[in-house]
């Protein structure tokens, strides 16, 4: 039985901390079948069904300074830090959505799952949550379309488009007379990616409008509009990168260069390592624009302001490494044994 990796939060409203858990489905399922009495639903602990990238590769979502996020982990709860999905969670929020799940229950019956009533459950609204373990975690890029399919078939809430979303663990309103319910479908078989693909195809056929709407609601990866920093990036949604107004006009022109955009997008998608992007950027810039226009200062600013913020690696290259890349690029156009022109900003960094 594979070990599951996921994230837990001490309370649903605790945005400043989370814990990475590694446990068996047997242990997690036992927890999902027991409801805690709560006076308010946000007091309960929560679960996010994600496996994160190695911590050294995390990107921090920079925010205006406040005491609560000064040292906490809230800034790292972004899609760019998610490696894969380890659990499927359907948040069934209405009676007709529950009936949708029941109408397709034969598709779910072969698989292990836990179903439990949510905090706001009543027999009239049938607000439930269904948790299915995966045989192997599914990479985030592959999960997006599969999520749209199983959400449509299983009656899940279309609003749950953020894959780092936290779901409240089983609880009931201690001030109500409603009895919570839970159920374990003990089939012994975990859901596989091959099982999800037919659900996606069926969703396209039976619920085309909802399926397409679900796909359009999915939050895109590599959304750099959330990385504030020096506001040097707007976003990556298949559109050009746009520099902020306080940057040099030359940098804006460089970002309209299809070759440079292609390099940055390839790096964002993890197709090539970031250091290679920096090297190719130097070679292309010097050969196309000549050193008179593509100065070392422009190259260094472009590298540190843009490439250093991409998911393939958040730490900047050192000034010495960037200088070596630039000097290598100069040699390609027949310029040897010269130093990049020092400026006020980079004079101290250019000493070999």
pLDDT at 36: 94
pLDDT at 235: 29
Extents of the domains making up the chain: 3-217, 224-350
Q: Which residue has the tokens 């899940």?
A: 156
Comparing 91-95, 110-114, 298-302, 304-308, the range with the smallest average pLDDT is 304-308
- The torsion region of residue 31 among left (phi > 0), alpha (psi -120 to 50) and beta comes to alpha
DSSP string, 237-295: SSS-----TTS-HHHHHHHT-HHHHHHHHHHHTTSS-HHHHHHHHHHHHHHHHHHHHS-
pLDDT of 119 higher than 60: yes
DSSP string, 169-198: PSEEETTS-PPP-EEEE-----B-HHHHHH
pLDDT of 124 higher than 60: yes
pLDDT at 153: 95
**Alpha-carbon distance 141 to 83, whole Å?**
9
For the question of whether the overall pTM of this predicted structure is more than 0.75, the answer is: no
Which of the four pLDDT bands, split at 50, 70 and 90, describes residue 315? Answer: very low
Tokens of 218: 């999915």
**Alpha-carbon distance 229 to 314, whole Å?**
13
- As a whole number, mean pLDDT of residues 1-29 equals 83
Mapping DSSP onto H, E and C, the string for 88-128 reads EEEEECCHHHHHHHHHCHHHHCCCCEEEEECCCCCCCCCCE
pLDDT of 245 higher than 80: no
pLDDT at 318: 61
- As a whole number, mean pLDDT of residues 38-42 equals 87
**Alpha-carbon distance 175 to 182, whole Å?**
19
pLDDT of 42 higher than 90: no
Looking at every residue in the chain, the average pLDDT score rounds to 76
pLDDT of 65 higher than 60: no
pLDDT of 202 higher than 60: yes
More confident residue, 141 or 82: 82
Helix (H) or strand (E) holding 13: none
- As a whole number, mean pLDDT of residues 122-131 equals 96
Which of the four pLDDT bands, split at 50, 70 and 90, describes residue 94? Answer: very high
pLDDT digits (tens, 9 = 90+) for 145-172: 899 899 999 999 988 877 888 899 999 9
Which one-letter DSSP state was computed for residue 138? E
Which of the four pLDDT bands, split at 50, 70 and 90, describes residue 281? Answer: confident
**Alpha-carbon distance 184 to 186, whole Å?**
6
Contact 117, 172 (CB under 8 A): yes
- As a whole number, mean pLDDT of residues 130-153 equals 91
**Alpha-carbon distance 303 to 20, whole Å?**
33
Contact 100, 154 (CB under 8 A): yes
pLDDT at 250: 65
**Alpha-carbon distance 10 to 181, whole Å?**
23
- As a whole number, mean pLDDT of residues 122-130 equals 95
- Residues in contact with 142: Cβ distance below 8 Å, sequence separation at least 6, in sequence order: 193
More confident residue, 348 or 309: 309
């Amino acid at each position: 039985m594979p070990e599951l990796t996921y994230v837990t939060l001490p309370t649903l409203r605790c945005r400043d901390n989370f814990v990475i858990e590694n446990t068996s489905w047997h242990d997690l399922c036992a927890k999902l079948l027991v409801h805690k009495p709560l006076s308010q639903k946000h007091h309960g602990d929560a679960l996010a069904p994600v496996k994160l990238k190695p911590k050294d590769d995390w990107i921090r979502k920079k925010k205006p300074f406040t005491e609560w996020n000064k040292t906490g982990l809230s800034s790292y709860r972004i899609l760019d830090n998610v490696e894969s999905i380890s659990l499927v969670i359907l948040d069934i929020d209405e009676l007709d959505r529950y009936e949708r799940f029941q109408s397709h229950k034969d598709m779910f019956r072969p698989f292990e799952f836990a179903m439990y009533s949510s905090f706001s459950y009543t027999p009239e609204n049938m607000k439930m949550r269904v948790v299915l373990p995966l045989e192997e975690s599914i990479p985030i890029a592959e999960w997006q379309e599969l999520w749209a399919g199983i959400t449509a078939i299983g009656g899940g809430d279309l609003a749950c488009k953020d894959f780092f979303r936290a779901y409240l663990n089983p609880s009931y309103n201690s001030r109500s007379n409603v009895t919570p319910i839970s159920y374990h479908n003990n089939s012994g078989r975990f859901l596989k990616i091959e099982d999800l693909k037919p659900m996606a195809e069926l969703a396209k056929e039976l619920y085309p409008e909802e399926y397409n709407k679900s796909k359009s609601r999915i939050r895109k990866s590599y959304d750099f509009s959330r990385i504030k920093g020096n506001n040097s990036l707007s976003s990556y949604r298949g559109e050009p990168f746009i520099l902020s107004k306080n940057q040099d006009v030359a940098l804006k022109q460089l970002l309209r260069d299809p070759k440079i955009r292609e390099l940055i997008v390839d790096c964002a998608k993890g197709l090539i390592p970031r250091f290679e992007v920096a090297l190719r950027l130097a070679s292309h810039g010097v050969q196309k624009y000549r050193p008179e226009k593509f100065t070392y200062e422009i190259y260094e600013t472009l590298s540190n302001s843009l490439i250093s913020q991409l998911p393939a690696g958040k730490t900047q290259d050192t000034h010495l490494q960037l200088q070596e890349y630039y000097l290598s690029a100069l040699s390609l156009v027949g310029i040897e044994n010269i130093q990049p022109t020092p400026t006020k900003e980079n004079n101290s960094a250019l000493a070999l």
